[in-house]
A and B are shown apart, each in its own frame.
Chain A
């Protein structure tokens, strides 16, 4: 696949959003991923050209952050948090179940290109541990069985919603949103009472940070 004229225009548009063009690189790389399904050499070169920096400088950034993939992701990106809290509360079991269900290990796509499995780090969603992400949308308090059901539904092409509301689209679509976050798709803030429990107690007891 080659980077389209639309994407190139988008890349330039993002670059113009920032006072220092270089700051635009992160969203630009997301836009590359939304079209290419991964960070390609061409994508790196186009970003370098737009920003007037070298491909090596772009590669340094693209290889530092794990959200940028250097192999095709396929249709859906499935992340399972296996950091301490999620891991202990069932994340490891979710991982085992999904890995068996999909027949792939970490950072591997399924042969049909439908799913890409990744062990992810703490998503700051420990309140709802264990969490799983589908195309970076949250599935809170997930169980091995519930996780497999999500996969089943996606396979059947049924509509799947994040436990926090949004409809799951696909990896490329999410990447586009990450490049252009003001695309009107954002829902109301998805904060629930569980997430605010600590704060509520602190307020009740008049606690303050030292």
Chain B
């Protein structure tokens, strides 16, 4: 946009128009709203309902301005500019000033005097604008309208109806952005109020955003209500640790305790939104933390000093002749890099993997050849302008919610979304996804026989293929995805669920790959890295994935950081039990600390600086929030162990680690081969489909009951036809090798002969309870007691 003054001769592109606001000329693109044009000049017009990411409604009338030639005041938030338009705001028009003052007085008639106890007090647009454009005193002497205080629109979100100014931001967010129109303006006139259907709460994964955009204190969360005043909080911009969407957040804390988290502006990633998990799931950071180092003595863990614990860890690791390193998918890039370096330089092993979940060798090859160390190719912005986005083994709403929001935005503007899978999920419906039906396990076959129109669309410039981490469970799927991208020219994105996976991959926390996607088998790559690390040699390519897990039973020592054993489909505990010496870097007790010889407490995200790479491959750095915390990041603890082993690995300061990674940069040499796993055999029988829901039994969601109460119910989903065939009505029982699970039946749009259950939700943890994985043949019987 160009800004011109009256006498300047700046050339104005033809798709712009010039308007005069309060006597100042400004050139803006055609179709610009008056309120936006005024912002360009630094003129602030009051507003409540206006929000740049929502469609205009002109519901609150706070923004009235004078437009020359129009008899009545116009809403600046809905009035688009036209060439030569002369606009006067409250700054220069008595009409506008009086109109705004009148509206403000009107809005305050029924507004309670809650400010001293209202969450929004101190950061409230109503307070602020009542001061800036309202009358100094109210003339209203009658009784104010009241409502019973507050009502639950969901277990998490509370509504004080008398505070509402009926701006419809929350309802428009629900409908336009989230696609969950379960919050509406009900009743009429003075009784108009926000509400839900009687028997359907506002259980949207994105519900917390409504609190943030509500211009008054009408919407509050059960978690934060009455906890703090905004002016008592210290705010720090951070990055969400819950998934690979990479949201910018603002973390607010008081007296070293985090009180709330908000979505922070990041137009290129999360715009101004986030999901409820990112917003509300942070209690784990304070509750149940391991406070002191622990060492095992006579079978029991006892508290030890740091020097003693480091000493024991170093000795145990040094004495062992074989090692394995398991890094959970939640590490920062810097910590993952520290594990990668520690494994190769201190333990001299390449037996390392960050994938604490179902995985495959095919996936390793896929990541090594196509993902590791590669620059951002598919971005959020690219999704928005893509003609077609093909989703494979990927449920964005559950597995990467901001991808879902961006896809929804794209779909509303015409992007064609196609999902290759077994369930037309609620999320698929909200992005109007077409289905390419296939049972889990048959993805490769489905991709090999895509309809011609989809193939043709994928060949258009800007086409995108997104594949989720669950593709690792389906033999040949990732090979087929790679081949399809190759054949059509579509851009390819791999979307892991966890925040740390992409970073750990690029940091080299996986066997066979050094930082930046360098193949460990490449002499040049080895030379670059060993020089940086100051080591004579690097280990030979080791074991990752299933081979590593198989080898666990035979190694003498293991270093395990932030791994939940329940996240593996196989019984890793049995293997770890045979490892003589385990060093666990953790912040909570877990199945690993139960087996560990040494437990070293480490910092959570608020206690350290770091970076997550989001699914795009975009670095999302963050600073330390709690300055007084005494905990150390994993990197620092590993550095201390290395020093004590007398095998120093170099500095562990986060800035140095970042600099080292920067020095190495991405690998530009030859890459490993893309996988060529053939299409697997077709199987007969009932196939299990499953993924992790956004809100589930995940350990980082612990301690937040209101959030948990908004999770989707645990059900088994089948098609009508399959239900009839199996005689399923109220409940169904799934029989797996490890046990049975009985759940209510929900008839849904599911492929024939497929049953879907959540992977890790209360009442159904498929690995533990059933001993089954997605793609397995499963027996299902009708009935069973819940």
- Which residues on the B side are within 8 Å of A44 (C-beta)? 197-198
CA separation between A53 and B196, bound complex, in Å? 13
Query: Is B181 part of the binding interface, using a Cβ–Cβ cutoff of 8 Å?
Result: yes
Q: Mark A72-111, 1 if CB is under 8 A from B, else 0.
A: 0000000000000000000000000000000000000000
Binding stretch for chain A, among B183-191, B218-226, B381-389, B609-617? B183-191
A59 touches B197 (CB 8 A): yes
Partner of B185, one of A45, A48, A60: A60
CA separation between A45 and B199, bound complex, in Å? 9
CA separation between A111 and B719, bound complex, in Å? 48
Query: Is A41 part of the binding interface, using a Cβ–Cβ cutoff of 8 Å?
Result: yes
CA separation between A55 and B180, bound complex, in Å? 11
Partner of B183, one of A48, A56, A63, A64: A56
Query: Is A58 part of the binding interface, using a Cβ–Cβ cutoff of 8 Å?
Result: yes
A56 touches B199 (CB 8 A): no
Query: Is A163 part of the binding interface, using a Cβ–Cβ cutoff of 8 Å?
Result: no
A60 touches B186 (CB 8 A): yes
Known contacts A53-B181, A56-B181; is A63 also within 8 Å of B197 by CB? Answer: no
Interface majority SS (helix, strand, loop, mixed), chain B: loop
- Which residues on the B side are within 8 Å of A56 (C-beta)? 181-184, 195-197, 200, 202
B187 touches A64 (CB 8 A): yes
CA separation between A45 and B197, bound complex, in Å? 9
A58 touches B197 (CB 8 A): yes
A43-72 interface (Cβ within 8 A of B): 44-45, 48, 53-60, 63-64
- Which residues on the A side are within 8 Å of B200 (C-beta)? 54-56
A57 touches B198 (CB 8 A): no
- Which residues on the A side are within 8 Å of B202 (C-beta)? 56
A16-56 interface (Cβ within 8 A of B): 41, 44-45, 48, 53-56
- Which residues on the A side are within 8 Å of B185 (C-beta)? 60
Residue of A nearest to B202 (CB): A56
- Which residues on the B side are within 8 Å of A60 (C-beta)? 184-186
- Which residues on the A side are within 8 Å of B196 (C-beta)? 56, 59
A54 touches B186 (CB 8 A): no
Partner of B181, one of A41, A57, A63, A64: A57
Q: How far apart are B60's CB and chain A's nearest CB, in angstroms?
A: 18
Known contacts A63-B187, A64-B187; is A54 also within 8 Å of B199 by CB? Answer: no
Q: How far apart are A185's CB and chain B's nearest CB, in angstroms?
A: 30
Of the listed residues B182, B184, B185, B186, the one surrounded by the most CB atoms of chain A closer than 10 A to its CB is B184
A63 touches B186 (CB 8 A): yes
CA separation between A63 and B188, bound complex, in Å? 8
CA separation between A44 and B198, bound complex, in Å? 9
Q: How far apart are B3's CB and chain A's nearest CB, in angstroms?
A: 42
- Which residues on the B side are within 8 Å of A64 (C-beta)? 186-188
- Which residues on the A side are within 8 Å of B198 (C-beta)? 41, 44, 55, 59
CA separation between A57 and B184, bound complex, in Å? 6
CA separation between A63 and B186, bound complex, in Å? 6
CA separation between A45 and B198, bound complex, in Å? 10
B197 touches A55 (CB 8 A): yes
- Which residues on the B side are within 8 Å of A63 (C-beta)? 186-188
CA separation between A5 and B184, bound complex, in Å? 29
Residue of B nearest to A65 (CB): B188
Q: How far apart are B206's CB and chain A's nearest CB, in angstroms?
A: 15
Residue of B nearest to A64 (CB): B188
- Which residues on the B side are within 8 Å of A57 (C-beta)? 181, 184
A59 touches B181 (CB 8 A): no
Of the listed residues A58, A60, A63, the one surrounded by the most CB atoms of chain B closer than 10 A to its CB is A60
Residue of B nearest to A48 (CB): B197
Q: How far apart are A47's CB and chain B's nearest CB, in angstroms?
A: 11
Q: How far apart are B453's CB and chain A's nearest CB, in angstroms?
A: 25
Q: Mark B461-478, 1 if CB is under 8 A from A, else 0.
A: 000000000000000000
- Which residues on the A side are within 8 Å of B180 (C-beta)? 54
CA separation between A59 and B196, bound complex, in Å? 8
- Which residues on the B side are within 8 Å of A45 (C-beta)? 197, 199
CA separation between A209 and B92, bound complex, in Å? 38
Residue of A nearest to B180 (CB): A54
- Which residues on the A side are within 8 Å of B197 (C-beta)? 41, 44-45, 48, 54-56, 58-59
B148-180 interface (Cβ within 8 A of A): 180
Q: How far apart are B749's CB and chain A's nearest CB, in angstroms?
A: 13
A41 touches B184 (CB 8 A): no
CA separation between A60 and B202, bound complex, in Å? 14
A59 touches B195 (CB 8 A): yes
B199-216 interface (Cβ within 8 A of A): 199-200, 202
Q: How far apart are B429's CB and chain A's nearest CB, in angstroms?
A: 9
- Which residues on the B side are within 8 Å of A59 (C-beta)? 184, 186, 195-198
A54 touches B195 (CB 8 A): no
A54 touches B188 (CB 8 A): no
Of the listed residues A53, A56, A60, the one surrounded by the most CB atoms of chain B closer than 10 A to its CB is A56
Residue of A nearest to B429 (CB): A52
Q: How far apart are B121's CB and chain A's nearest CB, in angstroms?
A: 29
Q: How far apart are B416's CB and chain A's nearest CB, in angstroms?
A: 20
CA separation between A44 and B182, bound complex, in Å? 13
Q: How far apart are A39's CB and chain B's nearest CB, in angstroms?
A: 10
CA separation between A21 and B197, bound complex, in Å? 20
Residue of A nearest to B196 (CB): A56
CA separation between A209 and B286, bound complex, in Å? 74
CA separation between A59 and B194, bound complex, in Å? 11
Q: How far apart are B190's CB and chain A's nearest CB, in angstroms?
A: 13
Q: Mark B10-40, 1 if CB is under 8 A from A, else 0.
A: 0000000000000000000000000000000
- Which residues on the B side are within 8 Å of A41 (C-beta)? 197-199
Q: How far apart are A204's CB and chain B's nearest CB, in angstroms?
A: 35
CA separation between A55 and B183, bound complex, in Å? 10
Residue of B nearest to A60 (CB): B184
- Which residues on the B side are within 8 Å of A58 (C-beta)? 197
CA separation between A53 and B429, bound complex, in Å? 12
Closest 9 CB pairs of A and B: A55-B197, A60-B184, A56-B184, A56-B197, A63-B186, A56-B182, A59-B197, A63-B187, A55-B200
Q: Can you list 30 residue pairs at the A/B interface with Cβ under 8 Å?
A: A41-B197, A41-B198, A41-B199, A44-B197, A44-B198, A45-B199, A53-B181, A54-B180, A54-B181, A54-B197, A55-B197, A55-B200, A56-B181, A56-B182, A56-B196, A56-B197, A56-B202, A57-B181, A57-B184, A59-B184, A59-B186, A59-B195, A59-B196, A60-B184, A60-B185, A60-B186, A63-B188, A64-B186, A64-B187, A64-B188
Q: A55-B198, A56-B184, A57-B181 are in contact. List 18 more A-B contacts (CB 8 A).
A: A41-B198, A44-B198, A45-B199, A48-B197, A53-B181, A54-B182, A54-B197, A55-B182, A56-B181, A56-B183, A56-B197, A58-B197, A59-B184, A59-B195, A59-B196, A60-B184, A63-B188, A64-B186
